[in-house]
Amino acid sequence: MKAETQKKIDGILCRVVEKGSLMSCADLDLVRKVTVSDSSRLVRIQMDGPGDNRSCICAGLVGDMLRGSVERDLKAEFEREFAGYRVEFADQ
């Protein structure tokens, strides 16, 4: 990956904050992988974190709510930084 592209991704992960903890996606290690395809004009985001543990129904529901908020914010930031690219989240 180009250094400029990695710098954009790192910046986004530091800027997007989970509102409950006020910590960035980078600090919470919520994003497992980001793939940018210039030829397909696609950004694909693979996440970890809240909502992955389904042993507790309540924790899963709260995790899904937090994840939804973070995903919206990540999508908006990636669309802004990678104008003209489609942004999608990979299924786990």
Amino acid, single-letter form, for residue 54: R
Indicate whether 68 pLDDT > 90: no
Could you list the beta-strand ranges (E) of the chain: 17-18, 23-24, 31-37, 42-47, 86-89
What share of the chain has pLDDT > 90, as a percent?
55
Q: In what order do the strands lie in the sheet with 86-89?
A: 31-37, 42-47, 86-89
pTM of the predicted model, to two decimals? Answer: 0.80
Which residue in this structure is represented by tokens 């509102």?
19
Indicate whether 31 pLDDT > 70: yes
Q: How far is CA 1 from CA 9, 16, 20, 34, in A?
A: 11, 21, 32, 10
Tokens of 40: 């397909």
Task: Write the pLDDT tens digit of every residue in 46-56.
Answer: 987 554 555 65
